[in-house]
Chain A
Amino acid sequence: MAAMKFYCDAERCIECNGCVTACKNVNEVPWGVNRRRVVTIKDGEPGERSLSVACMHCADAPCAAVCPVDCFYTTDDGIVLHDKDICIGCGYCFYACPFGAPQFPSDGAFASRGKMDKCTFCAGGPLEDNSSEEFRKYGSNRIAEGKLPACAEMCATKALLAGDADMVSEIYRKRVVNRAQAALGKGSQLRQRKFGSKVDLEGKVTN
């Protein structure tokens, strides 16, 4: 059994921010803390692409490696969670994370960031599944209810995929093949616009 992972299909993401607000919704995340965000590269220019990013639940999580109090743990499905009761709010996980996933409720002046908060893959935390306390501290535990993260479930265009890594990569692989097949079936070139393509603003693809 492979680990649970996210994958955002950049050919489908339209920066509608549905994943962002879905997460705030089901986890009652306060203002200032954003477990998930959408980043747009080459904004306003041909080749613009958006990607939704939150905690990537890394196999060798740097946050877990650097934490001075070792408050992280990885579940059997590869979801990286942490214990807010043990966290001391030092911020090192944020420095270490390549994706900037850890969030803090306070702006941090006088080194008081508050307890770190981050995407839990909607798997709650170390407290009892679906208890009031778990919800208050960590948000939803949809995994324990047999569901998947709300962000992926509510993605407008099914760009954001979440679930078993093998399944996710299989879905994505099939999508890529599908896209190519549609072109090949018509005997024409793959129409997908490449990220790095030089398209002048009148829309003519020059590569």
Chain B
Amino acid sequence: MKLTKTSDQITQNRNNHSATSAGGGLAVSRRGFLRNSGLMAGGAALATTLTPGMMKKARAGTGTEAGGNANEIKTICTHCSVGCGILAEVQNGVWTGQEPAFDHPFNHGGHCAKGAAVREHGHGERRLKYPTKLVNGKWTKISWEQAINEVGDKILQSREQSGPDSVYWLGSAKFNNEQSYLFRKLAAVWGTNNVDHQARICHSTTVAGVANTWGYGAMTNSYNDIHNSKSILLIGSNPAEAHPVALQHIFKGKEENNAPVIVIDPRFTRTAAHADHFLRIRPGTDVPVVWGMLWHIFENGWEDKEFIRQRVYGMEDVKKEVAKWTPDEVERVAGVGEAEVRAAAKAMADNRPGTFIWCMGGTQHTIGNNNTRAYCTFQLALGNMGVSGGGTNIFRGHDNVQGATDFCILSHSLPGYYGLSGGAWKHWAGVWGLDVEWLKGQFDPASYEQSKGKDVTAMHTKGIPVSRWIDGVLEDKENIAQKDNIRTMIFWGHAPNSQTRGKEMKEAMEKLDTLVIIDPYPTASAVMHDRTDGVYLLPASTQFETYGSVTASNRSLQWRDKVIEPLFESLPDHTIMYKLANKLGLAEQLCKNIEVKDDEPVIEDITREFNSGMWTIGYSGQSPERMKKQQQNWGNFDYTSLKAEGGPCDGEYYGLPWPCWGTPEMGHPGTPNLYDGSKSVADGGLTFRARFGVERDGVNLLAEGFHSKGSAIKDGYPEFTDKMLKKLGWWDDLTADEKAAAEGKNWKTDVSGGIQRVAIKHGCAPFGNAKARTVVWTFPDPVPIHREPLYTSRRDLVEKYPTYEDRKSFYRLPTRYGSIQAKDYSKDYPIILTSGRLVEYEGGGDETRSNPWLAELQQDMFVEMNPRDANNNGVKDGDDVWLEGAEGAKLKVKAMVTRRVAAGVAFMPFHFAGHFEGKDLRSKYPEGSDPIVLGEACNTAMTYGYDSVTQMQETKASLCRITKA
């Protein structure tokens, strides 16, 4: 029986699809079934809750009156990037119920433990309730006015004494799009590039590696598109814990296409339990195993030669590298035998299109960018790109990390990945209505770095990333490429225990002048240090207490409505941003074109502003009106294709996945699968972006003999500029207004959207039609190679696969590689330490560990260890143990003895905080705001190690030893 809610929209079941009613036939509505089965208590309401105006009796214990009207509010879950729809029932402003959103195309009502528990946000017992200041070691309540004043003064003081770069603006992947954009703008008008967020330590290597391969660094297809996959490979990805609803789609593909599922992971995860192939690799050996699979593919001629000829550059160089990864070498380095690797490669080769999924297991390494590019190359070799059912389906983390990344709360770019060049600043200054010179004046005018022999000022140099903020505080200031150390740290919607080197972080927090934490919960930032003064906690509202758009991993933008008013004295993030900006004298610049009501910038105005500037990735077409319309019509969008057939959103793809080209008026439907040439660009088709030039070493970098459907240019072409339009004779297709704006501009900087419109009108992609490149000549390793982790137990491999050389200045900081790997830690710390997730918790964990429904299910921090290691150390299941990291941090945790991890490998979840080296810090939390469950933070023990392109931290491969406590 169909478990779908009855409503005005009936989702049709096709013969081979719906997960709930397998097989064809009429879907019987639940209402009809129940009526037939006589379940209706005589005369009771038949209507489901989607019927407006239905009378519902009150629920006890919620302070509501019997017979009150329940409002049903649509929002999106705040816990991960799948973006599940949530129906919240609110009565008299109290969040009284939660109903499954059966119509929502991403989850069809399904949730994981966190999503099914979001209503607890309406209780918020452990929330940070009011602005709080640490005075003489005591948490003291203060007013918002005092808080903003004092914090603002401290920030200004920092600027005065040490320059604008001494203030670090650490933002959040949990900001919605409007807040993300506003935050990046705030840092820009403040005058620093020391702004970053969780993406740095999550998928930064993905974005860098993938974007540098074929143009955009995001998930290419969608969770739903996996229905079409004939094979599914997951490496370093455990959706059973991290993206449970994604498995709804993976299972559909698996079951209906008999698709083999291949899991490559050091652990036998819950996802691996449902897989057909499991390859257990040593942590940090992704490149060997992927090249090892490619070795078999090339050896047997399974690669898609035509696809490579038309759309790929550099495969010959890759072949040379892959030739070194013979089965013996793969087994020696990665620990996987020939038969398994060959079987996996064959499964992918025989069953195309196949999709390739990865997460932190692949990204969080010193060679993260090598890993991600290897994954891309694999899919290019098989011709699995730009096709439904294929693609690199990268599962992002937090609910809006995709949006926050796209708006570049990142130290190396302005919103939309425009970068930090003069042209980028000019573009955004124009959008913001600000004078570029004024912006320049906000920055430190001095230069601390050189590029191509010329001095470059702070405005144009990458800021310090979040993974290294502690070095920004602790490092000798002479060695940092900015005026002074970081003195004021603003942790905004970001936990500290997601970054490594916890002991040094404690030191850094104690050295700061001021530590400001803006969050719905105090987070471990409030307790892990021993400061007695200079700490401010400002209560922010959750995403259920505000509204705006959010971008899911598949690039779909979804509109959230506000469920409840901000709890206690919390304020939405954008209101706090405005208040702070006001104090800092930046209010006018921040909200020049944005209306502000009672200190709250109007969200829709922000949306419209970024629509007018985000041309590079096509955030220009998703206006508030279009997004809201889609929100009202969730049920119209097809479960597999995400396309609306009929109804008010006819022809659109759900979420108008970016790139949604041109202006909202143009009405582009969004791009559901990137690089898919089988559709016209106007209908969501795409080519590979021409981003790397038209030619290299005499080889054509543009596509050859390939073009998207209906393209007027039947071959490769570069990105569109005004000159190109004129050359093609399409310039006069522009309106007069468009011409005025487009003169001298290109598809990224033409704010009329005309260049994009005309290009698409002729069936062309505004960003060109090029080949993907498997050789990134600007990266430290142009062709991805393997390098051992800094803390490795395989000293025998260090000589052949050494890490990089130390770098004097990288993202403004000295960064060590070889000097760390030179030391042999493996005698004293013989066990490989890796980390990962649990389904009950999310991120730093203070929010979810404060939810009793979730906390009850995971009450103790633990380390998974193999029986062999347990026996070697006299440890039994459930014992307390000391886990000592390679740099001396000691964690007291419970031992879970399991075969899930191999001998010589230990695993810890990273969501815990509140204990520090055996000490329980519960009493240090502000009263009533301590999470229910506390535990050691695994990153206290995780060590140094940063990706060679993005400064991503190496949290998947370190060393430790474990002894009985």
Name A's B-contacting residues (CB within 8 A): 1, 11-12, 14-22, 24-26, 28, 31-32, 34, 43-50, 76-77, 129-133, 135-136, 140, 143-148, 150, 152-158, 161, 163-164, 167-168, 170-171, 174-175, 177-179, 182-183, 185-186, 188, 191, 193, 199, 201-205
Contact = CB atoms under 8 A, between A and B. Distances in A.
A202 B279 contact: yes
A158 B19 CA distance: 7
B110 A167 contact: no
B735 interface: no
19 contacts: A1-B38, A20-B857, A21-B857, A25-B98, A46-B268, A47-B273, A48-B273, A131-B57, A146-B46, A146-B48, A148-B3, A153-B102, A156-B244, A171-B22, A175-B22, A178-B22, A182-B257, A183-B258, A204-B343
A155 B108 CA distance: 10
A32 B240 CA distance: 25
A22 B853 CA distance: 9
Contact of B240 (A14, A28, A147, A186): A14
A16 B61 contact: no
Contact of A17 (B19, B30, B279, B857): B857
Given A14-B240, A48-B270, A201 B278 contact: yes
B340 A204 contact: yes
A26 B255 contact: no
Interface stretch (B114-122, B612-620, B702-710, B878-886): B114-122
B684 to A, nearest CB: 28
Contacts of A182: 255-258
Interface string B256-287: 11101001000010111111111110000000
B857 A175 contact: no
Nearest to A188: B258
Contacts of A20: 113, 853, 857
Contacts of B337: 202
What 3 A-B pairs come out closest when comparing CB atoms? A44-B900, A203-B278, A132-B60
A128 to B, nearest CB: 9
A159 to B, nearest CB: 9
A18 B61 contact: no
Most buried by B among A11, A17, A50: A17
Given A48-B273, A157-B244, A203-B263, 19 more contacts: A1-B38, A15-B240, A17-B113, A21-B117, A22-B116, A24-B853, A25-B117, A45-B268, A129-B44, A130-B56, A132-B58, A136-B60, A136-B61, A146-B47, A154-B100, A154-B115, A163-B33, A174-B21, A191-B276
A153 B248 CA distance: 13
B809 to A, nearest CB: 44
Q: Which of B100, B852, B854: most chain A Cβ within 10 A?
A: B100
Nearest to A11: B274
A107 to B, nearest CB: 15
Interface string B231-260: 000000000110011011001000111101
B340 A14 contact: no
B854 A21 contact: yes
A133 B59 CA distance: 9
Nearest to B116: A22
B856 interface: yes
Contacts of A15: 240, 270, 839
A1 B34 CA distance: 10
Contacts of A191: 258, 260, 276
Most chain A CB atoms below 10 A, which of B257, B273, B853: B273
Given A14-B247, A164-B1, A193-B276, A153 B46 contact: no
Contacts of B900: 43-45
A21 B98 contact: no
Contacts of B37: 1, 77, 164
A45 B899 contact: yes
A25 B116 contact: yes
Contacts of B343: 203-204
B45 A146 contact: yes
B871 interface: no
A204 B256 contact: no
A156 B33 contact: no
Contact of B110 (A34, A50, A156, A174): A156
B26 interface: no
B964 interface: no
B282 to A, nearest CB: 13
Given A18-B110, A174-B21, A201 B274 contact: no
B122 to A, nearest CB: 11
Contacts of A164: 1, 33, 37
Given A143-B39, A182-B256, A156 B247 contact: yes
B479 interface: no
A179 to B, nearest CB: 5
A152 B255 contact: no
Contacts of A205: 276
A133 B268 contact: no
B103 to A, nearest CB: 13
Interface in B4-20: 16, 19-20
A16 B857 contact: no
A40 to B, nearest CB: 8
Nearest to A45: B899
B852 A14 contact: no
B822 interface: no
A142 B557 CA distance: 32
A50 B120 CA distance: 26
A182 B231 CA distance: 13
A129 B260 CA distance: 48
Contacts of A130: 56-57
Interface in B390-420: none
B274 A158 contact: no
B31 interface: yes
Nearest to B54: A145
Contacts of B728: none
A202 B258 contact: no
B278 A202 contact: yes
A11 B245 CA distance: 15
Nearest to A152: B3
A18 B112 contact: yes
A204 B344 CA distance: 10
A44 B244 CA distance: 18
Residue among B116, B247, B263, B336 having the largest count of chain A Cβ atoms under 10 Å? B116
Contact of B97 (A24, A26, A50): A26
B3 A158 contact: yes
A191 B260 CA distance: 7
A168 B20 contact: no
